[in-house]
Amino acid sequence: MTEVDIVALRRGDELAFRTLVAEVHSTLFRLAMIYSPSRAVAEETVQETWIAVLNGLDGFAGRASLRTWICRILVRVAQRRAGQETRDMPFDSSSAHEPGASAVPADAFVSSGPRAGRWVSVPYSWSFVPEDRALSQELVGEVGRAIGALPAQQREVITLRDVEGWSAAEVSELLEISPGNQRVLLHRARSRVRASLDHYLGMPPNPPYVDPIAA
Amino acid sequence: MAGVDEMKCQEFVERTTDHLDGALSARDRERVLHHLDDCFGCEHHLDQVRATVLLAGALGSEPLRVSQEVRLLALHRSWARNVRT
Which residue of chain A has the CA closest to B11? A117
Q: Distance, in angstroms, between B47 CA and closest chain A CA? A: 8
For the entire predicted model, the pTM comes to: 0.86
Return the pLDDT at A210: 53
Q: What is the DSSP string of A163-202?
A: IS---HHHHHHHHT--HHHHHHHHHHHHHHHHHHHHHHHH
Q: Do B41 and A103 touch (CB under 8 A)?
A: no
Which residue of chain A has the CA closest to B6? A117
Cα–Cα dist A41/A79, whole Å:
12
Return the pLDDT at A101: 74
Cα–Cα dist A204/A208, whole Å:
10
Q: What's the pLDDT tens digit per position in A64-113?
A: 899 999 999 999 999 888 886 544 444 554 444 454 478 999 999 999 99
> Which residues, in sequence order, are CB contacts of B25 under 8 Å at separation 6+?
none
- Which SS3 state, helix, strand or coil, does residue A103 take? coil
